[in-house]
Chains A and B, each alone.
Chain A
């Protein structure tokens, strides 16, 4: 089967699946709502509980989940190819730790600024991610011969540990309730209750996705080795730079919106590879779509399994994703 037909078939199937999940997810939750009432325009908004549950509580969550899941899964694929390391995740290069540190500082210093309806925590988180990205890039590019992926990896991992230590230190110094809030944020959460944070994160995410759209062929060559890629006429350094910055941007936007939700960035790409092979032209779009639906489903579990209590979505992704992935791994081999 040629690549176009396979692409069409696989991406089509994933699109249908993700679409179905996104349509279905907001209709279920801890409460039973009537869809007829939800979309009944004759009932005033102020007294339409069903519509408010659908449009204020559920739909923003589903959208946020899809965005965060897509961003983390795609960033995972890109970084695994860029670093030529199957263990790479969006959190490997210290970007998310930078974002988390920003959020921790906003929580513990009780910063209460806001911009366009976005509160201090996501803003500080995004700023932290950008700073971390800049530091890692500056370190990796400081070598004369372009961008060194081994320096990138080592610098990223070191920065990750360094920021994690700072996070623990900030939490340790924080007052008890603030420390609790900070820890809760680290577990991830998608109950954004409104569209402002989604709208704010969307442009960055679209920018990253646009970059991802031109990457797949390059990633195929890069994952075979930089020399091989250069021999095929690829400008390796600019390709690496584009991959690194777009993956970092996606990660930063995702973390600012949902917190550092683990496992998506590693499980989804590998799952997709197990299912459909390693060609990035198919893996990248399929992972993006599957990341979206996977996180939406995990969040559905997070908001219904123990309702009326919430389970942190990061806990669900690990609890569902881990065993599922292992099962698939064993079954395939």
Chain B
């Protein structure tokens, strides 16, 4: 747009030659057109009917005071409790476009990979917010961006700052303590050590571990999620194995069932020193406002 205007201006100069008055007035018109264009683009109306397809973003909306504007969420959404009574419109892989459009949203929060949905929304002239998971800092960035987009700039700023300071408080507390070499596991075949998925040296889970005062044993793997073999666990010999379990509560017998398969690897310091720690709760893997609680849990496990 700007580029075409500049060429226009050059042409104008050629045509009018030294007629500076005409040139000035043309320049003024161009300036006004450009200005009006940007004002129109940037002044989107504050959305009143938001649909969120990303649980982390839903939690952020409620944290920044945009909760009342939310009219529907994804099928994965469970937090905060207020969303449980809202209509659901599918999720990451199966968004129900018809239902989304029928709810007449004026903003849809989508995940970056939902390109088909985004194209359909564009065709239906429904604005959308594009998001992808990033590192820990990205959570605060996203909160502020959502605040700006939904008309809650101040509350978003406050929420982002308080989240940042909660994270910093944990960082501060564990600073200077020895960092246990930690394997952060977030998935495997139940009852066995097959198909272990662990955090590599990138992404918010890795950042959470580092903030909680741990050193990631898979630091050198430049991936958010790494599938590793038992050989790698034995070879890397972590001091602590932190394992996320999505259950909210486990009795002792069930907890023992979860931990038992690890006992086979008795040469691993984490196993030898009984530092295979299961952290409960589905919120641990959501990069939203509850992330500070997750870091706190991890810090307590790593530095009892």
List A residues at the B interface (Cβ < 8 Å): 29-31, 45-49, 52-53, 56-58, 61, 110, 112, 114, 119-121, 172, 175-177, 179-181, 184-185, 189, 191-194, 197, 303, 307-310
1/0 per residue, CB under 8 A from A, across B193-237: the answer is 111000000000000000000000010010100111111101111
> CB distance A308 to B226 under 8 Å?
yes
- Most chain A C-beta atoms within 10 Å of own C-beta, residue among B191, B226, B236, B264: B191
Q: Does B34 contact A (CB under 8 A)?
A: no
Q: Does B122 contact A (CB under 8 A)?
A: no
Complex: how many Å from CA A309 to CA B191?
22
A-B contact pairs, 5 of them (CB 8 A): A31-B235, A53-B231, A112-B191, A193-B261, A197-B192
Cβ-neighbour of A29 out of B91, B218, B231, B257 (below 8 A): B231
Complex: how many Å from CA A48 to CA B227?
24
Known: A46-B272, A56-B234. A119 touches B191 (CB 8 A): yes
Q: Given contacts A31-B235, A110-B190, A119-B189, could you give 20 more A-B pairs where the C-beta distance is less than 8 Å? A: A45-B267, A49-B234, A49-B235, A52-B267, A53-B231, A56-B234, A56-B265, A58-B231, A112-B257, A121-B189, A176-B92, A184-B227, A185-B189, A194-B192, A197-B192, A303-B231, A308-B221, A308-B226, A308-B228, A309-B227
1/0 per residue, CB under 8 A from A, across B272-300: the answer is 10000000000000000000000000000
| Closest chain A residue to B235, Cβ basis | A31
Complex: how many Å from CA A61 to CA B227?
16
Complex: how many Å from CA A192 to CA B229?
9
Complex: how many Å from CA A184 to CA B15?
67
> CB distance A310 to B189 under 8 Å?
no
Complex: how many Å from CA A46 to CA B268?
8
| B76 contact set on A, CB distance < 8 A | 175-176
Closest-CB distance, A143 to chain B (whole angstroms): 41
- Most chain A C-beta atoms within 10 Å of own C-beta, residue among B223, B230, B246, B266: B230
> CB distance A48 to B226 under 8 Å?
no
> CB distance B194 to A192 under 8 Å?
yes
Which 7 pairs from chain A and chain B are nearest by CB? A57-B231, A31-B235, A119-B191, A193-B193, A193-B230, A57-B230, A308-B232
| A119 contact set on B, CB distance < 8 A | 189-192
Cβ-neighbour of B265 out of A52, A189, A192 (below 8 A): A52
| A31 contact set on B, CB distance < 8 A | 231-232, 234-235
Closest-CB distance, A103 to chain B (whole angstroms): 10
1/0 per residue, CB under 8 A from A, across B31-70: the answer is 0000000000000000000000000000000000000000
| A46 contact set on B, CB distance < 8 A | 266-267, 272
Q: Does B127 contact A (CB under 8 A)?
A: no
Complex: how many Å from CA A111 to CA B65?
40
Q: Does B168 contact A (CB under 8 A)?
A: no
Known: A52-B267, A191-B229. A308 touches B218 (CB 8 A): yes
| B221 contact set on A, CB distance < 8 A | 308-309
- Most chain B C-beta atoms within 10 Å of own C-beta, residue among A47, A53, A193: A193
Complex: how many Å from CA A75 to CA B74?
45
| Closest chain B residue to A302, Cβ basis | B229
Closest-CB distance, B73 to chain A (whole angstroms): 15
> CB distance B237 to A49 under 8 Å?
yes
Q: Does B135 contact A (CB under 8 A)?
A: no
Closest-CB distance, B105 to chain A (whole angstroms): 23
Complex: how many Å from CA A112 to CA B258?
11
Complex: how many Å from CA A119 to CA B187?
16
Cβ-neighbour of A191 out of B230, B246, B261, B272 (below 8 A): B230
Complex: how many Å from CA A190 to CA B236?
20
| A189 contact set on B, CB distance < 8 A | 194-195
Complex: how many Å from CA A168 to CA B300?
41
> CB distance A193 to B232 under 8 Å?
no
| A61 contact set on B, CB distance < 8 A | 229
> CB distance A310 to B229 under 8 Å?
yes
Cβ-neighbour of A307 out of B92, B193, B232 (below 8 A): B232
Closest-CB distance, A239 to chain B (whole angstroms): 38
| Closest chain B residue to A175, Cβ basis | B76
Closest-CB distance, B129 to chain A (whole angstroms): 20
Complex: how many Å from CA A49 to CA B230?
12
Closest-CB distance, B225 to chain A (whole angstroms): 9
Q: Does B130 contact A (CB under 8 A)?
A: no
Closest-CB distance, B26 to chain A (whole angstroms): 56
Known: A49-B234, A184-B227. A191 touches B194 (CB 8 A): yes
> CB distance A57 to B234 under 8 Å?
yes
Q: Does B94 contact A (CB under 8 A)?
A: yes
> CB distance A310 to B228 under 8 Å?
yes
Closest-CB distance, A301 to chain B (whole angstroms): 13
Complex: how many Å from CA A264 to CA B234?
30
> CB distance A309 to B226 under 8 Å?
yes
> CB distance B92 to A185 under 8 Å?
no
Cβ-neighbour of A310 out of B223, B227, B267 (below 8 A): B227
Cβ-neighbour of B235 out of A47, A53, A120, A197 (below 8 A): A53
Complex: how many Å from CA A191 to CA B257?
20
| Closest chain B residue to A173, Cβ basis | B94
Complex: how many Å from CA A171 to CA B153?
40
Known: A52-B234, A176-B76. A120 touches B229 (CB 8 A): no
Closest-CB distance, B116 to chain A (whole angstroms): 16
Known: A30-B231, A56-B230, A56-B264. A184 touches B195 (CB 8 A): yes
